[in-house]
Structure 1
Amino acid sequence: MPQIILAILGSFASSFLFRILAGAGISVYSYTKIQQYMDLFINSIIQQTSRLPASFLQLLGLAGFDTYLSIVLCALSAATFIIAMKLFVGKSA
């Protein structure tokens, strides 16, 4: 009887451990990919705003545009990461 319980617990633990490790691997991979795309987007924004006059850029700085952009990009990154995780968990469950 203890062998059966140990076999069941071993099967559950290996499956659980596999899910944890697979989830961690997928999360690291998706985070790096999302971060690459966000870096490309940020570089694009920097290139586009570098053409603007200096006085306008100073006004944007005073208005807190950089903080706004940072908050929006972080929220976008987090939302994309959550959606990617839901897709993975939904397929493996």
Structure 2
Amino acid sequence: MLPANLAAMAQLPCHLGDLPLTVVSRGRVDGPPGATPADLNALEQAWGDLEGDLAGLSGVSRQIVAEDAGHYVQLDHPDVVVEQVRMLLGLL
């Protein structure tokens, strides 16, 4: 499914204008089994760059880090995700 997902993503707008956007990032490094420290460093750099690119899609964006969360922030810290959604909706 990766090629289909990448093709679909290529069709998305390059900028969201002033649509509020929050990027919730993981704070815990968790790479694939057997990854070397060098692999993890490279993965972290690439992932950080991608998250920065994502935050750059809106003129009104911010990025927060869920310090104890791994890749699945919504499972590790659903409270953080709920709080950020509520903030975006103006409920907090």
Q: Which has the higher contact order (CA 8 A, sep 6+)?
A: 1
- Give me the TM-score of the superposition, normalised by structure 1: 0.31
More strand by share: 2
Q: Which has the larger radius of gyration?
A: 1
- Give me the TM-score of the superposition, normalised by structure 2: 0.31
More helix by share: 1
